[in-house]
Structure 1
Amino acid sequence: MNYKELVREAIKLLDVYEPDKQCVDTFIEDSARTPGLSNRSSAEQIFITDIVYGCIVHQKLLDTVINVFYDQKGNNILKAARNHFVVVSYLAMFHLDDLGLEQFSTIIKSLDCLKMYKFLHFFFNATNLTTWIRSEWSQLYDTTYVEKKWIVPLLRWQTELEGLLEYLEKKTTKGSQLTKFPKKSTTPQEFDLTKPRPRRLLAPELIPLQEKAKPVPSSIYRSPKEHEVLEEIKQKNHLKAQKVLYEANTQQFQCANPQKSEKTKNIISEIQQNMESTLKFDSIYSSGTPATQKTNIIPVKLNAATILREAELYNRQMKEELNRFECLMQGAGEPSAFLQWQKEMKEKDLQEQLAQLERRRLEAKITHSEALLAREQVLELNQHKALLKKEETAQVMRRYAEKRLREEKVMKELVQLVADGHKNSKAAKVKLQEIKKRIVKEVSEQNQELLRQALEESQAELCQKFELIRQIRAIESVPHLNHKFLDDTETAGHELLCEMSLAELRERLARMKEEEQREQEKKRQRILEEKPIKEQLLLEHLDTIAACKTAARLSMAQKKQEEMQLRLKLQEAVSMDEGVVALQKTLELKQQEAQKRKEREKAKSKPDEQMAARNVKSYSRTKQALEKQHWLQLEQALEKQVQREASRRNTLE
């Protein structure tokens, strides 16, 4: 990338930017559409927009340095060059590592040398960076962030930029010497009162005629049939969509489902679970799930701890049951009569709740069917309104088409005027070629200077590499001995009480390992002796657990059978309720009404569908006719314009 041109383009955009009137994002989007940026590649556009956006966002950070620079050393520098310093300081702070010294120096050399020398000498001064610049930036950001992000990198680049500063200093001194020339005395001249001759007008160049293109023969190219197939598919899909939309607007929704809703089912199941918990159904299972789900459980392999724990639990339950039998034999009472009365009362309450829920469900169904009938009436009104709205939109589209035809005529006239004005552009082309030649000459001179500097730097780098290679070879040529002699039986010689040699240490470690192995063998033997005793004990416990589980399973099956009988009894009682029977009859009447209405609407919808299909076909035909007419008008306008140009050229000849 040519960074010099990119930096100049960024400075131009910063000169145009007005912070009081424009937003940053909108300004960057508008500038990206300008010919200066749109003709460039994507990487160059990103580089320019990044510079402009960074200078605007970090304006406070950059102004702290530039304001002080103008106060101290900017007496002879114009305010118009402020954006040059803004861009240079932003590149030095944020992009110097990415650009590198060569690209940064080319950017600096492309700008005014005197101004850049003053600013860089001021900005990269160590005393300025470590004193007031650090304190000013620390007021805006954290001190540690400022030190790590900007101060340390700028001080590191200070030594590498000394060559660039020396180059700028030489340039400025040469320029000052050239500008100091002796003053010349003015000589008076007589007035020339003769009138200057007017410039001769250049004859306009003739616009070359374009040869008519020959039509492509059918042997080379044939138009594919896929376009025709796609158009047919589009027409079919459009007709199908119109039919589906018409059916969705005319057909009725399905009647309400006569089954119970999920909500009522959940409430009934909750009530039944509460009743079961109070009556101590499924008391063995902590989760409260029915016994049928527990009978077919896959057997699980239990460990020793769980077997002992369950055996202890069942033993405790057996002791409690035996104590209860002893109390009954001694004459204690049992609360069976009270529990029976409590069970009957709860059954009665549950029956009332279920009947109330059934009545509510049927009432909800009836209101839903009434709401559906009301909604169908509203849909009919909306369809009538939609037809009126379609007629209004058709009138508006007609007016819009007439307006577009008038605008196209005006645009044709404007194009004709612009084509007439482009004839006298030869002088502008000549000036543009001269400017391009001058720019190429300047760029070639700068490239020669850069090549000379690069050659000197490469030679110095090669000399350093040769010196390093010579030193490395000298170090490698020196011989070194790495022989070590070690005696296992000798001590280190530190004269400590617990000091021992390497052989003694190995012997002691070997004996410790033998002792550990003997202890592990004793433990293993003891475990093998205790294992059959524990297995026998666990088998006994497993027998007791299996017996208790079979007894509990039988009791749970009996309770489940009683529960099913109770549920059937409650459902029969709810179905015989007078209010529920009356509501069911009204619901059936409403459903019959809705079914009759749906049949009537289906009979009406068949001719309407045929009318919709005819309307769609007529609309597609009119659309194709209008498109053909539009293209014929465009071709006639182009033929008239070509005839006009030909007649004008004949008159000029």
Structure 2
Amino acid sequence: MLPAELIEQCIACYKAFQPNKMTIDSHIEVFLASIDCADEGDEVFIKQVVYGCIRFKKLNKINLTALYFKHGTEVSREDYHLYMVFSYLTIIRLEDMGVPVFRKFVFAQDYQKMFVWLSFIFNTQTLNKWMKEEWCRIFDEQFVEDELIARLVRNIPEMSEVIERLRELASTKEADDVASEEGQKKKIETTKVEPFNLSKARPRAIPEPFPIYLENPYKKPIPKSVHAPDGDGTIKKVEEARMQAKEESLKKLAKAKGPELEMPKLSTKKEVRKGKYKGALQEAHEKEMEEKTRYIPANPKDPAPALAAANKQAIRLNTAAVLREDALLRKKQEEEAALINKYESELRDDSEYYEWQAKMRDLDERKRLEGVEQRRIQMLLTDENAKEARIQNERDNHRFAAEMRAESAAIRALHKAEQEEVLVLKQKLVEDIKESEKNVKPAMQAVVEQKMLMGMELREETRRLEEENKRRMAIEEERRMDIVRQIKALECLPADKSAHFDPTTASEDSKHLLEAMSMAELAERLAIEKEKAATREKERRNEIVQSKQEREQDLMQRVEQIRRIRDIRQQDAKEQRRRQQEKEAQEKAIKWRIRQEAQVELQAKIEEKRKIRLDEEEKLKEEMRQIEIKKQFLAAGAAQVEEKKFKELEAGAERKLHDLQARERKEHQKALEAMREDVKNRKRVQKKKVEAKEKFHTEYEERFEEDMAAMVDDFGTSHAEKRKTVSITRDFESALQDKKVVRDPNKHLTNVRSVSTARSIREAQLTTAESMRSRKLTGGTRATSVRDDVTMRATAR
């Protein structure tokens, strides 16, 4: 096959594979048999490509996702499988195939598609930036760097010529030039067979479909009374009988009620229209409209009577509901009877204990509410302590962060030094691996040849077994046809179809049976059995009716008992609800009283502190006033006055200190418990922090040692590969530049001239600016003409 056909067959085989129906081996064998591939090399190629695409499915998916993301406007989704096949061939099989063979497959496809793919995959920036990180998620990093990326980088110089050639073919060259340069002969266009351009016949006019009226078979016939109301006189007779029955009923009512009162007859509608009762009708109409439009204020009714009436109404229960409620009542009665028996046997009642328990619970609830209020007051006092603790914690965190930053800087410096050592070790390891890879290709070639021989032997054995199976099936088919012919010959023989039946005698075939009987005897026995079955059915019916009556009587008794118990429990529930409401009201009052007492106590404390503070301020003002007065009257004894003033101030300060200490002592006693709890919590938190910090340092040192060892290895390999990549890239760029110069020397000369011109202009600008600066510094002025100014500006440009 040609290269293009091989790629198409690989894509078709991959698309047709259904893993939920067939294995990959069976699918490839069926596919190869369907296309009649005669060349074993082509079969091996298709197998290897399909196997590789399935095995490296994740790798291909990553490559194609990056390709469609970066070159989304240049590639089509229809070519997904084409790029997948070339992804496998380029990354995995390029060195096995060789660049010349791979070149044939590339130039057999569309040039634009292949140019986009090869320029994408043979790019060091793409490999290191886009591909490496994603490939390391599914493969080992060393395998990615040493095998995948290194293999592509080694082939960049050879593939650059292919990429440049594809660029030229895709952009500037015509299809004829491409065919001639690649050694392909231009095909001569042959005459295409086309039908004669005959005029088409006009379509025939289709007649309009005529309506088909189908009668509804389920529709009842129209009664005759619709078309003829009287019909046969039946309706008239019915109407006369109805009027007669109405008159007889009125006569009977008249006899029962007595004589009728005489009432004035109202006028007919005709007389009303004439205007006799027009005013009366108008007034009646106005009253009716007023009644309809009258505003009725909202008067919500109490729903209690309606609910009470609804509760009094009996609810009809079915059998299942009655039995369930009766079982529930019996269960409760048994529990109550068990309690009574227990009391009789033990002579002890638990009601006093339960009452004591309820009282203790109420007392505990009151204490709990008082404790809640007390803690709320204490929380106001401990708020400031919590603020100070938070500020101190922030300072400790800032200091700890500064220490960690300094330690991280030292670790980074050590890490950088160790990476350089790892780089040298990895370079040596890469050289050893390359030496070991040289012996892989001969071994793989031997394995492929051995597998080809085994495949040929297996196909020969399969062909032989199929021939034997066909011969065996032919013999079996001949035997079956012989049996069928014998059966048909037997069926063609005539048969005796005469039959003689005697109902009074038993059949000859059943005489050896003990219970054999004639048809007449069977009919008699059947009649007897039917009579017995009817008698049993009648007796069973009587039993069912009697049991049903007994069950209904039992249900009626249970319903009556349920009704009585419901009335009793309804009264108990009302009483219990009333007691519960009273209890809730008492609890609400107690809570409100405790709350008020706590508020009053808090307000009293606040007022007491305010009063003490105001008294101290007033005393201090009074003392200062007295001191000022004494200063005025005792100006001569300033020293004595000063001493006395100092003593009074000292005494006032002592009094103030004494009062403050007493007040602080009381407050300290109240806040002591909260402070102790706060100190315990802080110690516990600090201890956990210290433990977490020690654990973090220990784990950090262990991870750091492991990461440093791994990083040393990785850094050595990556540094060697980068140096090699840089050298290869520089060689490639210099070679590419030389090729461009050889290909288009005029363009190169233009670029050189533009660069030299730009440099000369730049030097002129710098010279002019330097001369202007020197003139400004010396302070000298020089008159320039317009011609000189224009010349200078042109030179600068």
Q: Same fold (TM over 0.5)?
A: no
The TM-score with structure 2 as length reference comes to 0.24
The TM-score with structure 1 as length reference comes to 0.29
Larger-gyration structure (1/2): 2
Larger RCO, structures 1/2 (Cα 8 Å, 6+ apart)? 1
